[in-house]
Amino acid sequence: MNETEIKRLCEVKCFLLDMDGTIYLGNRLFDGTIDFLNYLKDTGRNFLFLTNNSSKDSNHYVAKLKRLGIEVTNDDVLTSGEATVSYLDAQKPGAKVYLLGTPELESEFKAWGFTLTDEDPDYVVLGFDMTLTYQKLVTACNLIRAGVPYIATHPDFNCPVENGYIPDAGSMIELIAASTGKRPKVIGKPNKEIIESAFRKRKYEKNEYAMVGDRLYTDVATGNNAGICSILVLSGEATVEDVEQSEVKPMFMLKDVSEILAYLKKGDQK
């Protein structure tokens, strides 16, 4: 990185961090992650962990991060479920919602004051729902055909599990589209709405945010779509070759969060 690029990086006050592939892989914390997070705190910077998973609430991720040695609170995590709740709260606080989601997601909506009902709802919301039934799909499709505004927490087709993958919300989006011909407004990565929810959770100027992640088509695209700094780390999925072949380009491409730390230190010393 040249001096101009380092200066731009040092303007960032809040790093929006993907988790798996960015700060850890599975249950292994990447070397340098703790040092990176501590340096952000020591220099008056901030961070927020982002995930597209709407089946779990922030408590799940707080517990996992603590097991890995990262001391955080619920305020340090933003799921696509919470981002959806935040989005709807900004549109119509206390709205009536027909929700396809896990009990954890249901609890999150109720905690924000939304009424969960299938009677004349203001919105249909589709999340990752392992309690999904055929009747839920029938009800949702009928409401969507009738013109009820339709929101989805995130677009991922598959959710990684220990033995492979299981269908995620994106697969259900396709099923509902085949039945109704309608598609939802999607909140999670790569859409800018999850970043706008982060803006409501962390108050900084737009040029003071950066989205950091290991995937071009979600993490980097999210930052670009929201008009903020995007940083690709090569510690997870994407490779240099992927960047060369992709239309989605990060503002910065670095080896890992340790290299972000090194450049922050270099820039702060000047």
Residue 210 banded pLDDT, cuts 50, 70, 90: very high
| CA atoms within 13 A of residue 121's CA, in its CB half-sphere | 26
- Count of positions (residues) in the chain: 270
How many domains does the chain divide into? 2
In a domain, 225, yes or no: yes
In a domain, 9, yes or no: no
Question: Final residue of a domain: which of 154, 186, 218?
Answer: 186
- The range of the structural domain enclosing residue 93 comes to 81-186
**Both 181 and 86 in a single domain?**
yes
In a domain, 67, yes or no: no
Find out whether 48 and 264 touch, Cβ atoms under 8 Å.
Answer: no
In a domain, 210, yes or no: yes
pLDDT tens-digit profile of 220-251?
A: 999 999 999 999 999 998 999 999 999 999 99
Element (H, E) at 192: helix 192-201
Q: Which residue has the higher pLDDT, 256 or 166?
A: 256
pLDDT tens-digit profile of 64-80?
A: 999 999 999 999 999 99
Question: Final residue of a domain: which of 186, 216, 240?
Answer: 186
pLDDT tens-digit profile of 132-165?
A: 999 999 999 999 999 999 999 999 998 877 677 8
- Paired strand residues for 156: none
**Both 182 and 112 in a single domain?**
yes
pLDDT tens-digit profile of 169-187?
A: 999 999 999 999 999 999 9
CA distance 138 to 136: 5
Nearest to 38 by CA among 57, 23, 60: 23
In a domain, 143, yes or no: yes
CA distance 72 to 76: 6
Tokens of 70: 């990262």
CB neighbours (10 Å) of residue 179? 15
Q: Cite the beta strand spans of 23-146 per DSSP E.
A: 24-25, 28-29, 46-51, 77-79, 96-100, 115-116, 123-126
Give the pLDDT of residue 33: 97
**Both 211 and 174 in a single domain?**
no
In a domain, 69, yes or no: no
Element (H, E) at 240: helix 240-245
pTM, entire model: 0.91
Give the pLDDT of residue 241: 96
Give the pLDDT of residue 163: 78
Give the pLDDT of residue 165: 84
Question: Final residue of a domain: which of 152, 186, 220?
Answer: 186
pLDDT tens-digit profile of 110-129?
A: 999 999 999 999 999 999 99
Q: What percentage of the chain reaches a pLDDT higher than 70?
A: 99
Average pLDDT value for the chain: 95
